[in-house]
Amino acid sequence: MRRPTPDAERRHAAVLAAVVLLQAVAVLFFVGDAASDILRDGPGPETLFEGFIAIALSSGVVAGGWQLRRALETQRAQARALDVARGALAEVIEAQFSRWGLTPAERDVALFALKGLDVAEIAELRGAAAGTVRAQMARVYAKSGVSGRAQFAALFVEDLLG
């Protein structure tokens, strides 16, 4: 099952908030109307019915408020987890690069490769020849003990998930 995007989560929370607000206004209307009827005519079947509706709507306000609170807590937790994951991945990458003893040029090339850039794009960004970038990537692969880009990227995913 696909997880909702942060935008979808925000829209969901906004819709819940609007429904809760609408229900709260309806509760106030029915309670006010029932109180007015009681003061004017005394309790009757219509007043009891309006009271029942007010109680049902109040339950809806409570349930909607609870759902809204849960949605907002989930949204905040997901944002915190994403921030932690971003920071953790950066720390994992830096630690591995240090363990492998990558040179500054190799670090740059390796980071660009992890970001998904191909040899030509990396060469253009670094102002280097494609052959130079390929040689640097070969040294990065050798130092990291892998044979290609997919294995190289998988090292970091494994560390992050482990």
Closest CA to 110 of 85, 135, 84, 83: 135
Distance CA 114, CA 8 (A): 29
3-state secondary structure of 146: coil
> Each residue's pLDDT tens digit in the chain (162 positions)?
456 676 777 787 788 788 888 888 888 887 888 788 888 888 888 878 877 888 888 888 888 888 888 888 888 877 777 776 677 778 778 888 999 999 999 999 999 998 899 999 999 999 999 999 999 999 999 999 999 888 888 887 776 665
The model scores a pTM over 0.75: no
How many angstroms separate the Cα of 119 from the Cα of each of 26, 89, 132? 63, 23, 9
